[in-house]
Amino acid sequence: MSEPERVADHTIEIRAARPDDAEWNAVARLNAVVPRGERHDYEPRSPAALRELDAVLSRDGRVLRRHVAEIVETGAIVAYAHGFHMPWDHHPARFWCSVRCDPAYRHRGIGRRLFTALGRDLDRLGATELRAMAPENQPDILALVTRLGFRELFRSWDFELDLAQPGPEPLPAASPPGIAIVPLPEERARRPVWLPDLRALYLAVSREVPLPNHADPELPAEAFAAYLERWPTSLPEACFIARKGDTYLGLCILHRNAEDSACLDHLFTGVAAEGRGRGIATALKLETIAFARRHGYARISTAVESNNPGMLALNERLGFVRRGGLVVFVKRR
């Protein structure tokens, strides 16, 4: 706990968060006011989802530390910061960090105080590397993160395809010669033992995506199947597989958008090394676009990292328009 400080007409105390309903409610409220384009992963906007995130991290042996900024006079929580082991990364000394503040209390040094307290906690746990994100269109936040000792690692840019607009011409045939592009339910019916091979493709391609961390190398098969088929936003009929016989060469994963029923979220496109250069990624993306149009969706959203020029070029070719982005930062201790 840090020494309380006066902020305007209030005394603000930084302390460790308590795992109870009142504090889950307060943290979720802070997440809920963040504009859609500035939201990060792992910032649940409902108390139940936040409680579930904490439970999942604990169940999987992931460390979580959360601090809150509380108005001493009223008990109101006006900001929080947390750091946790990234679920997609098994490095014990690498943590993902986030700070959120009530808009009425920004630019008063609260975020800096929260991060300082959180950093001390993570130092005691042996943290050697911290990761964080900030909107690229908010120079004051970018400057704060830089002052805290972070440096830019890469950018994640949001893109959107307006399905009311005609697609670019000319486009290739929907399926390269000898390659079948099929939705997941069709493949599951054709080949009941689909899961191990598709999981192996997903993990192999994920490890080659130009991100600083690879996909979870221990992702259980059932967890991968649930991601494709049983999450609240899962849409297995919008997940397409490129195969040659029983060999899986490519995969696209789309989910429903949790907040916009007219939008699909394109989460993953990957092609096995032996299938590249044959137009498979383009064919997969075209199938997702055709699916979205057939089912009356208005938009497809996706995100592409700045260090992935091939996918950036493909999205531009297919008519996706950049809508903004986030800067990913790293701080090594």
> How many residues are there in the chain?
333
Are 248 and 197 contacting, i.e. CB atoms less than 8 angstroms apart? Answer: yes
Are 153 and 213 contacting, i.e. CB atoms less than 8 angstroms apart? Answer: no
Report d(CA 212, CA 227) in Å as an integer: 22
Q: What pLDDT digit, counting tens, does each position of 111-132 carry? A: 999 999 999 999 999 999 999 9
Helices (H), 33-134: 47-59, 110-124
Q: What pLDDT digit, counting tens, does each position of 147-186 carry? A: 889 999 999 999 999 999 876 655 555 678 899 999 999 9
Other C-beta atoms lying within 10 Å of the C-beta of residue 140: 10
Mean pLDDT rounded to a whole number for the chain: 90
Which of 80, 78, 84 lies closest to 54 in space, CA to CA? 84
Report d(CA 202, CA 149) in Å as an integer: 35
Q: What pLDDT digit, counting tens, does each position of 71-85 carry? A: 999 999 999 999 999
Q: What pLDDT digit, counting tens, does each position of 213-237 carry? A: 655 566 789 989 999 999 889 999 9
Whole-number percent of the chain with pLDDT over 90: 70
Residue 8 pLDDT grade (very low, low, confident, very high; cuts 50, 70, 90):
low
Determine the longest span between alpha carbons in the chain, in angstroms: 71
Report d(CA 1, CA 83) in Å as an integer: 16
